[in-house]
Amino acid sequence: MRPERDFDYKSKALISCITGLIYDNRFSWVTRWNTKGIIVEVRSWLDSALVYKAITENESPEYTYTDQRTALEPGPVGINCAAHN
């Protein structure tokens, strides 16, 4: 039997949006696994205010963040950001 354990995964996103906003966000996911190797708890952290700002300030003219959609839109549409190298 495996011991119960936690796993912490951290990552970072650094991009610039068409409005010039620098999207510099860090993410952390902590998972707790039981003795059978099954995830029993997940906790995550990120700057949700920055996510909201990036989406709402860089929306596609085709639709807005608050529009109700009945079909999946092909991406990436809506955020108009480019990755930094």
3-class DSSP assignment, residue 82:
strand
What pLDDT does residue 84 have?
A: 54
Of residues 25, 19, 1, 16, the one with CA closest to residue 81: 16
What pLDDT does residue 77 have?
A: 47
What pLDDT does residue 7 have?
A: 82
What pLDDT does residue 57 have?
A: 82
Q: Tens place of pLDDT for every residue, the chain, 85 residues?
A: 567 788 888 999 898 888 889 999 999 999 998 888 888 999 999 999 998 888 888 776 666 666 666 665 555 544 555 555 4
What pLDDT does residue 82 have?
A: 55
- Placement of tokens 């708890």 in the chain: 41
Q: What are phi and psi of 65, to 5 degrees?
A: -55, -35
What pLDDT does residue 78 have?
A: 47
Round to whole Å and give the CA distance between 60 and 73: 12
Cβ(60)–Cβ(81) under 8 Å? no
